[in-house]
Amino acid sequence: MNLNQVTVFSGDVSASVEFYRKLGLKLIVDSAPRYVRFECPDGGATFSVHHTEKPVASETVVYFECEDLDARVESLKQLGLQFESEPTNQTWLWRESRLKDPSGNRICLFYAGENRQNPPWRVK
């Protein structure tokens, strides 16, 4: 089994398209204003946005890993994205920075390297 995609909901799919393109995702399905789907630049996972009349931001956090975290955050700020936190080293051995998409969905950009799947406390 492999993760295929994650879907978030939005009251403004067009604003979401602009946001996720800035993050570096490639638009592969455009059925706006109802639905759009993106491909992540690395790996095979996809990410979609589905329109809703009653947008309610989820408590779920969507994580996108990028090796160039600090430089990416800085370049995204130059594109006008507002971050809730600067890149910070976490006790769980990840470096991460958080922001929200236009609908309030929580996004974490992070870099964990080997610790993403193999932290020192991994179950044997």
Asked if 32 and 77 touch (Cβ cutoff 8 Å), the reply is: no
Listed residue (15, 13, 17) closest to 27, CA to CA:
17
Cis peptide before 33 (omega within 30 of 0): yes
Q: Give tens-digit pLDDT for 67-96.
A: 999 999 999 999 999 999 999 999 999 999
Q: How much of the chain exceeds pLDDT 90, in percent?
A: 87
Query: d(Cα 106, Cα 17) in Å, to the nearest integer?
Result: 16
Asked if 40 and 27 touch (Cβ cutoff 8 Å), the reply is: no
**Domain residue spans of the chain:** 5-116
Q: What average pLDDT does the structure give for the chain?
A: 94
Q: Give tens-digit pLDDT for 45-69.
A: 999 999 999 867 678 999 999 999 9
CATH of 5-116, one of 3.50.40.10, 3.90.1310.10, 3.40.50.10860, 3.10.180.10: 3.10.180.10
Please list the residues that pair with 23 across neighbouring strands: none
Q: Name the band, by pLDDT with cuts 50, 70 and 90, for residue 3.
A: confident
